[in-house]
Amino acid sequence: MTGTPTLEADNIVKELGRGAGKVMALKGVSLALNPGELTLLMGPSGSGKTTLLSILGCILTQTSGEIRVAGQSTTGLKAEDLAALRRAHIGYIFQSYNLFPTLNALENVRIALDVLGQKGYAASQRAEEVLHEVGLGHRLKNYPGNLSGGEQQRVAVARAIASSPSVVLADEPTAALDSENGHAVMELLARIAREQKRSVLAVTHDPRTLGYADRVVRIEDGLIVGEERRPDGLDAPRVTDLTKRRKAHG
């Protein structure tokens, strides 16, 4: 899948710490994310992958280099402007779900719309719609404590896509999940990328995720060291209708 990149990183350098303790977490990383693709960013612990994800998500700022989100450079933007850009264009999925325990699934998704000024009936309808999309239409009123790990992660995915962002970033989305739920979440991310034409980037070290990727980017010691793309003519990542699968399993 090709097209105008929705998110671009150009020669990103990130220094952490000061003086003798200063570490070069990223040493000049360039990366572009295209619509309709699920990209995996893989590397060992300490390789810089999570730091890069945070910079791409406008959570951290780079020491040097340029980030462009939907064609807009983040260079020189104030913190509130970066936050507005992130809310408008980027959905973020956390490894630990980051759900509010006192809110049910519908409310956890709706809160992402509240911060964009979307409230009331329309926000509730949109939250319900995306929960149905991720196969949780039957869990709208359930609280996180009454959901499995896989279901909690799917609520987190629904929250990330509720505002229709052009980019979805996921930090180790399968790390806390068993095999079945890990595959379900990867199927969901592949479907979001391909059917909704979003750019999806997942940081992972989980080999179970490889079969779902359109592209795998490898990072070591703060540098991109390789890239593999699904050859033309091979099947696209396997995609399953999660609602149908839930019914099949009762």
CA 120 to chain CA mean position, Å: 26
Q: Is residue 191 part of a domain?
A: yes
Cα–Cα distance measured from residue 70 to residue 85, given in angstroms and rounded to the nearest whole number: 9
Q: Is residue 2 part of a domain?
A: no
Q: Is residue 184 part of a domain?
A: yes
Q: Is residue 94 part of a domain?
A: yes
Task: Read off the CATH number of the domain in which 106 is found.
Answer: 3.40.50.300
Looking at the structure of the chain, the number of domains it has is 1
So what's the pLDDT on residue 94? 87
Q: Is residue 209 part of a domain?
A: yes
So what's the pLDDT on residue 54? 94
The range of the structural domain enclosing residue 228 comes to 7-248
So what's the pLDDT on residue 130? 94
Residues 44-59 have pLDDT tens digits of 988 999 999 999 999 9
State how beta strands 199-204 and 167-171 pair: parallel
pTM, two decimals, is 0.87
Smallest Cα–Cα separation from 48: which of 207, 224, 227, 226? 224
Q: Is residue 1 part of a domain?
A: no
Residues 193-244 have pLDDT tens digits of 999 999 999 999 888 899 999 999 999 999 999 999 876 544 544 433 333 3
Residues 1-17 have pLDDT tens digits of 456 899 999 999 999 98
Residues 144-183 have pLDDT tens digits of 999 999 999 999 999 999 999 999 999 999 988 888 888 8
pLDDT for 106 beyond 90: yes
Q: Is residue 77 part of a domain?
A: yes
